[in-house]
């Protein structure tokens, strides 16, 4: 019985996610954002923004800094970008045309990286 308990404990410990595991979830709805990021580089968040939102991101891979942990619920896209890009020198966005498709209200995000 004791050996079963040890095997069960080892199985749980081995299957547990490491402390540095990354979690990333991003959703858009009516110009609002729901973002959960745990230990994720900002460049990866922006890549997900491009993938899910259909937004072209320029210089997103050039954002410096350590991975971040964020949870944003029902905030505007502009507020979400302000938080995500607080380590950048700045950013500019262009709105989406009525004829273009994408979950994000932004067609393009230009990131001004720090030097």
Q: What Å distances lie between residue 78 and 4, 38, 93, 109, CA to CA?
A: 53, 21, 9, 11
The model's pLDDT over 52-105, given as tens digits with 9 standing for 90+, comes to 999 999 999 988 889 999 999 999 999 999 999 998 999 999 999 877 778 999
pLDDT at 97: 84
pTM as predicted: 0.79
In this prediction, residue 13 has a pLDDT band, given cuts at 50, 70 and 90, of: very low
State the Cα–Cα distance between residues 13 and 8, nearest whole angstrom.
Answer: 9
pLDDT at 18: 52
For the beta sheet containing 90-95, the strands, ordered from the edge strand earlier in sequence to the opposite edge, are 56-58, 106-112, 90-95
pLDDT at 31 over 80: yes
pLDDT at 12: 35
pLDDT at 94: 95
State the Cα–Cα distance between residues 36 and 56, nearest whole angstrom.
Answer: 21
pLDDT at 17 over 90: no
Contact 56, 107 (CB under 8 A): yes
């Amino acid at each position: 019985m004791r050996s079963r308990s040890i095997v069960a404990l080892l199985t749980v410990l081995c299957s547990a996610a490491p402390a540095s595991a990354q979690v990333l979830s991003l959703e858009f709805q009516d110009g609002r954002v729901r973002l959960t990021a745990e230990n994720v580089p900002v460049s990866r968040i922006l890549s997900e923004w491009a993938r899910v939102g259909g937004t072209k991101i320029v210089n997103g891979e050039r954002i410096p800094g350590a991975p971040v942990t964020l949870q944003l619920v029902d905030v505007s896209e502009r507020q979400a970008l302000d938080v995500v890009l607080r380590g950048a020198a700045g950013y500019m966005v262009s709105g989406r045309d009525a004829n273009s498709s994408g979950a994000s209200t932004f067609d393009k995000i230009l990131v001004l990286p720090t030097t």
